Amino acid sequence: MGRFHAALSQPGLRAIAEVKRRSPSAGDLRPDADPARLATQFAAAGAAAISILVDERFGGTFDDLLAARRATHAPLLAKGFFTEELHLLEAKAAGADAALLLLRDLDDERAAALLRYAGELGLETLVEAHDAEELERAVRLDAPVIGINARDLANFDIDRSRQLELVASAPRDRVIVAESGVHTRAQGAAAELAGADAVLVGTALMRAADPPAKLAELISRPLVKVCGLTNEEDVAVAVEAGADFCGFILAEASPRRAPEVLPVPAGVLSVAVFVGEEAETGADLVQLYRREEGRVRGRDAVLLRGAEEVARVVDLPWEEADPLHLQRAAATDGRVMLAGRLGPDNVADAIRAVRPWAVDAASRLESEPGRKDHDKVREYVRAAR
């Protein structure tokens, strides 16, 4: 496989940062965007690859691709409405490592011909699907990198739920890119947990005051969870502070038991916390602890998306200490959500020691059980991010 595929296959959630001056759905985004400057900045901010719009409807040309190629060694994706071999040859000549193929615009015969020709050119492809039928076609065409777009190009509506369902159903032997609709770290995490290897982000970057800083924020880790929320006021403070996950404990014996999973904004994920058995709540994720005799909960938990385990929660025993807690967490394979009496004063040190995928705090952010100290919540999120 080539550089584009290799860059997106690295561990963790990768990002394709997109340079586009305008959008047919949103109008002007950044009319004065300099593709060379942005490509350099995006590469420095951690982009695995950079997408350059070369279609005039997006304010782009192949000259933008040429400028980006001169400025960076990062893998470049030429993005346009390519239906002919000449389009791919132009993309390759302008310095692209990969080109977009929209299955919406191509039947199987034409798509297969373009894939063959791209291979002859040494040009990789991102084969984009919008629905289950197109995803099946992409798999049948043996596309190594498949994009699943949340945006319906007919009416420009965003349906992230449908996108995540398709991502979750995609074969794991392909590189899967979730495209469109990612504006927050939690939305990127939702795609990651559904099975995406990467996200393609354009509009959110082009609208940001500082595009490379926005990119760095979207892919930064650890994610931050505020748990033990019981009321809407505390939820609002956690969200305003920048929490990615809002946790609602539904175990009956917990002093922080919430009445239900409360509403959270679209850019944040809700987590329902159970002990022993889970129940349907409509939460985005479930955090499930085992039962343990004589205790409110067992020590560790799993984070579930539907029936699939997507992370391990490494916690402390209930109301007990463990001097080797951080070492144990650091030695745990896979995604780790670190929990266990974290607060504003110790979360940064814990992050340095463990390098977790996410951190989780509850009791040390309280003024009393079930009520948050808003200053502590803000200080904790700031220290963790």
Catalytic residues: 18, 20, 79, 128, 149, 179-180
Cα–Cα distance, 137 to 63 (Å, whole number): 32
Cis peptide before 222 (omega within 30 of 0): yes
Backbone angles phi, psi at 79, to 5 degrees: -115, 120
**187 CA to centre of own chain:** 5
Pair type for strands 198-201 and 175-179: parallel
* Closest residue by Cα to residue 145 from 190, 113, 97, 185: 97
SS3 content of the chain, % helix, strand, coil (to 5): 35, 25, 40
Cα–Cα distance, 275 to 126 (Å, whole number): 42
DSSP, res 13: -
**CB atoms closer than 10 angstroms to residue 208:** 17
Q: How far is CA 105 from CA 17, 51, 81, 133, 251, in A?
A: 23, 19, 8, 14, 50
Q: How many CA atoms lie within 13 A of 355 on its CB side?
A: 6
184 near 199, Cβ under 8 Å? no
| Token duo for residue 155 | 């009416």
Cα–Cα distance, 114 to 89 (Å, whole number): 11
